[in-house]
């Protein structure tokens, strides 16, 4: 699941509209829609703004995981 998809879950859970989120964050509706649907990555600045707008802890969205190494079998 992408960060955008995790944020989208929060938007839906809070009952907010994308238009409202776009208005309070200053992120254009088209960029916001693409990001929430996993077709565009949020910039770090946008991610900070989204966390502020949704009252989210950025750490909850950025769960570290090891890199995927292709061609190596464990």
Instruction: Return the higher-pLDDT residue of 21 and 70.
Output: 21
Confidence grade of residue 53 (pLDDT, cut at 50, 70, 90) = very high
Domains with residue ranges and CATH for the chain: 3-61 (1.10.260.40)
In 1-74, which residue ranges form alpha helices assigned H by DSSP?
Answer: 3-13, 18-25, 29-36, 44-54, 58-61
DSSP annotation of 28 reads -
pLDDT of 1-22, one tens digit each?
788 999 999 999 999 999 999 9
Whether 74 shows a pLDDT value over 60: the answer reads no
Residue 59 makes CB contacts below 8 A (sequence gap 6+) with none
**Predicted TM-score (pTM) above 0.75:** yes
């Amino acid at each position: 699941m992408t960060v955008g998809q995790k944020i989208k879950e929060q938007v839906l859970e809070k009952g907010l509209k994308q238009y409202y989120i776009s208005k309070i964050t200053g992120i254009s509706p088209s960029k916001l829609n693409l990001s929430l649907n996993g077709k565009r990555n949020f910039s770090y600045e946008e991610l900070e703004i989204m966390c502020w707008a949704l009252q989210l802890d950025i750490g909850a969205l950025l769960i570290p995981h090891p890199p995927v190494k292709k061609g190596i079998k464990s």
